[in-house]
Amino acid sequence: MSHTFSVIGLNHGHINGQVQGLLKTGDWSIKHVYAAEPDLLEAFTTKFTDVTVAESEAQVLEDDSELIASASINADRGPLAVRALEAGKHFFVDKPCVTTLKDLEVIKAAVEATGKKWFAFFGEMVLSAEVEWVREELRKGNLGEPVHFMGLGPHSLRIDSRPDWMFNGRQYGGILNDIASHQMAQFCYWMDQTPIPQFSRVGNLYHPERPEFQDFGDASFGGSKGATGYLRVDWFTPAGLPSWGDIKQQLITTEAYIEHRKNLDIGDAPDYKAKLIVTRSDKETEVVDLRGQKAPFFERLTKDVEDGTETAIPFELGYTASKAIVEVQQQAITLEGIKKP
Amino acid sequence: MSHTFSVIGLNHGHINGQVQGLLKTGDWSIKHVYAAEPDLLEAFTTKFTDVTVAESEAQVLEDDSELIASASINADRGPLAVRALEAGKHFFVDKPCVTTLKDLEVIKAAVEATGKKWFAFFGEMVLSAEVEWVREELRKGNLGEPVHFMGLGPHSLRIDSRPDWMFNGRQYGGILNDIASHQMAQFCYWMDQTPIPQFSRVGNLYHPERPEFQDFGDASFGGSKGATGYLRVDWFTPAGLPSWGDIKQQLITTEAYIEHRKNLDIGDAPDYKAKLIVTRSDKETEVVDLRGQKAPFFERLTKDVEDGTETAIPFELGYTASKAIVEVQQQAITLEGIKKP
């Protein structure tokens, strides 16, 4: 079957992965792109030469494509989702999906009213074969009961390369909501329980030249079945790291201890880009070798569009994770900056 | 120079490391041991054949040894410290050093009144060459300003092997105060700032057969110069781990990102027991190889006894860390247990 999609909003480079993923399935072709920024449009059309530049957002919403993919400015993603859904299109949005709870509720109502799909793109999670492996083991009951999830998402800032909207509090929506939406989604997916915020903190610890920026955040939360969670994100990764961040997560259960080094194995031989280390009560530590494998996220998304299923990223998962991370962001205490000597 | 010490309290196996460390310097000989438990005394005297069993604590306090080493029941360590100091002896105590703030203040007064030393034994920290290396780099200004410290202290429980006092709330003093005193001391030592408790939680998540036990705890805190800290401890390490726990810490600074795998390098070749991985803003990730080295803790302790210096574990460090971790323990919210399916 052949499907078409269009693109609105190129403000984060994640859009390239979204578009490439759809095109690579062989089931999708790209129609229009619209963005307000000429430089972003030029880079995009150089990369994706089959796309037609639309003159307005309205032109895209009125075309005959089935789905809109977007990585617009964080705060614009909620309202755009509703316009896309109401135009009769599925909406495939980079994380963070919204910056306010109100936006999220309006999306929920629009999904219910239109019957269209709203796909949240938590790229660190949905493409990972290791994440799927752990989820399956949990589902089969092979890992006991979940006790604790820890997600670490340090990032390199390269401050001069970032657009101004990242340093505007309202447009950016805060560090926890932005980066740690990955970790919150991961908690929901593995633990299969609704997060209950307990304590969170954010701060601009060392970038006073960008007063609305947040360069550090972390949060403690519970789960509705008694598990515990913690996440931490920051923009302090030094330039020497051969990656944009040492993304890691740990899972503690009543039967196992798992560490998932997500995009590099720091300090070790570079042949494992992602490394999954599993220790059980009845078995010595093993490295589960899934090198070269990817989770079939884009194939599932296509199937969901065709069959009305919820296999790629169920609405409930994207909604619950987004709601929890906006709450955690909003409830955070604000830290003072570091005292320079 | 030749020194003598005695031992009171064998309730945790850490006492073996304390005694071996002193004897190995060649500067110390052991005189008396007293413990209320015949089985612990028998095991100890089998290992240390030069020791004389005392008939009472009073006999030890009245002997001519200069120092008392102790790993008694957690709640007994504070009052015993004061009795030892007032008997004119230095006191060398396993962590946790106290279980109440009042005990700590009485110790402080006794140290001031007697001029004797109170040495806190945070074994995970003071013996580590890697910890010293990082501390020196920080002190030289080679790592910028500290931003965040994370300390993880998962432990294997082997519940049937543990003495009853560990499951008595008052005698044990709580999981954060017990295990995470290591992590809190480490924060104080590296960051060189006083911890300010912000949020902590403890719980008996999955051991209802021991109702006063706590099998999980974590805490968020700040530092007096604006750094941030987080620590987590638990008793869920599965039997398959080839160690009693995957102790890890991370340090984020304005210039560097450091991970210290303290007692095994999980999932990797076993030649690194402790691995220190350092990434800087101007240098690619490197593994700092300090294999086979130990920090000269016991040599420093001997020097402190001889010269009145504070090189092994300054009183202020042991006091500040102990105070902070008791506060964190006392302020913790109590979590509900995990809902069994």
Instruction: Give me the pLDDT at residue B233, please.
Output: 98
- Based on the fold, state whether residues B138 and B91 are members of the same structural domain: no
Instruction: Give me the pLDDT at residue B103, please.
Output: 98
pLDDT tens profile B80-99: 999 999 999 999 999 999 99
Instruction: Give me the pLDDT at residue B295, please.
Output: 96
Q: How far apart are CA B154 and CA B174, in angstroms?
A: 15
For residue A216, pLDDT over 80 is answered with yes
What does each C-alpha distance from A112 to A84, A120, B18, B234 come to in angstroms?
Answer: 14, 16, 66, 43
Would you place residue A340 in the very low, low, confident or very high pLDDT band (cuts 50, 70, 90)?
confident
How many structural domains is chain B composed of? 2
Instruction: Give me the pLDDT at residue A202, please.
Output: 98
Would you place residue B167 in the very low, low, confident or very high pLDDT band (cuts 50, 70, 90)?
very high
Would you place residue A270 in the very low, low, confident or very high pLDDT band (cuts 50, 70, 90)?
low
DSSP 3-state percent helix, strand, coil across chain B (nearest 5): 35, 25, 40
Q: How far apart are CA A330 and CA A317, in angstroms?
A: 20
CB nearest B230 (choices: A218, A252, A268):
A218
Would you place residue B270 in the very low, low, confident or very high pLDDT band (cuts 50, 70, 90)?
low
* CB-based contact, B139 to chain A, within 8 Å: no
Would you place residue A268 in the very low, low, confident or very high pLDDT band (cuts 50, 70, 90)?
confident
- Based on the fold, state whether residues B114 and B139 are members of the same structural domain: no
Q: Judge: B228–A237 Cβ closer than 8 Å, yes or no.
A: no
Contact present, A128 and A295 (Cβ < 8 Å)? yes
Which residue does chain B place closest to A217, by CA atoms?
B228
* Residue-wise DSSP of B175-227: HHHHTTHHHHHHHHHHH-S-EEEEEEEEE--S-TTSTT---EEEEEEEETTS-
For residue A254, pLDDT over 90 is answered with yes
Would you place residue A83 in the very low, low, confident or very high pLDDT band (cuts 50, 70, 90)?
very high
Would residue B300 count as lying in a domain? no
Instruction: Give me the pLDDT at residue A105, please.
Output: 98
- Based on the fold, state whether residues B114 and B153 are members of the same structural domain: no
Domain end residue (candidates: A79, A95, A121): A121
- Based on the fold, state whether residues B138 and B251 are members of the same structural domain: yes
Q: How far apart are CA B171 and CA B163, in angstroms?
A: 11
Contact present, A233 and A328 (Cβ < 8 Å)? no
pLDDT tens profile B293-311: 999 999 999 999 999 999 9
Helices (H), A247-296: none
Q: How far apart are CA B172 and CA B330, in angstroms?
A: 13
Would residue B318 count as lying in a domain? no
Mean pLDDT of chain A: 96
Domain end residue (candidates: A89, A104, A121): A121
- Percent of chain A residues past pLDDT 90, beyond the cut: 94
Q: How far apart are CA A286 and CA B15, in angstroms?
A: 33
For residue A273, pLDDT over 70 is answered with yes
Residues in chain B: 341
3-class secondary-structure state, position B47? helix
- Based on the fold, state whether residues A89 and A217 are members of the same structural domain: no
Domain end residue (candidates: B95, B121, B147): B121
The boundaries of the domain holding residue B151 are 125-295+327-334
For residue B168, pLDDT over 90 is answered with yes
- Based on the fold, state whether residues B27 and B132 are members of the same structural domain: no
Give me B274's structure tokens: 């402790």
Q: Give the closest-approach CA distance of B99 to chain A in angstroms.
A: 25
A118, A137, A121: which is closest to A129 by C-alpha?
Answer: A137
- Based on the fold, state whether residues B105 and B169 are members of the same structural domain: no
- Based on the fold, state whether residues B63 and B183 are members of the same structural domain: no
* CB-based contact, A270 to chain B, within 8 Å: no
- Give the dihedral of Cα atoms B43, B46, B48, B52; nearest 10 deg: 90
CATH number of the domain to which B209 belongs: 3.30.360.10
Would residue B339 count as lying in a domain? no
For residue A279, pLDDT over 70 is answered with yes
ipTM over 0.90: yes
Most A CBs within 10 A among B140, B194, B204, B220, hence the mutation to make, goes to B220
For residue B185, pLDDT over 70 is answered with yes
Residues in chain A: 341
For residue B38, pLDDT over 80 is answered with yes
- Based on the fold, state whether residues B218 and B103 are members of the same structural domain: no
Would residue B304 count as lying in a domain? no
- Based on the fold, state whether residues A154 and A291 are members of the same structural domain: yes
Would residue B320 count as lying in a domain? no
CATH number of the domain to which B78 belongs: 3.40.50.720
- Based on the fold, state whether residues A129 and A230 are members of the same structural domain: yes
For residue B331, pLDDT over 90 is answered with yes
Beta bridge pairs of residue B294: B128
Q: Give the closest-approach CA distance of A148 to chain B in angstroms.
A: 9
- Based on the fold, state whether residues B200 and B243 are members of the same structural domain: yes
Q: What is the mean pLDDT of residues B148-157?
A: 97
Which has more pLDDT, B217 or B340? B217
Q: For strands A90-94 and B283-288, give the pairing.
A: unpaired
* CB-based contact, A102 to chain B, within 8 Å: no
Mean pLDDT of chain B: 96
Instruction: Give me the pLDDT at residue A73, please.
Output: 98
Helices (H) and strands (E) in chain A, counts: 12, 15
* CB-based contact, A148 to chain B, within 8 Å: yes
pLDDT tens profile B109-144: 999 999 999 999 999 999 999 999 999 999 999 999
Contact present, B23 and B12 (Cβ < 8 Å)? no
Would you place residue B212 in the very low, low, confident or very high pLDDT band (cuts 50, 70, 90)?
very high
Instruction: Give me the pLDDT at residue B10, please.
Output: 98
Contacts of B275 in chain A (CB under 8 A): 267
Would residue B321 count as lying in a domain? no
For residue B269, pLDDT over 70 is answered with no
Would residue B341 count as lying in a domain? no
pLDDT tens profile A157-208: 999 999 999 999 999 999 999 999 999 999 999 999 999 999 999 999 999 9
Would you place residue B1 in the very low, low, confident or very high pLDDT band (cuts 50, 70, 90)?
low
Would residue A305 count as lying in a domain? no
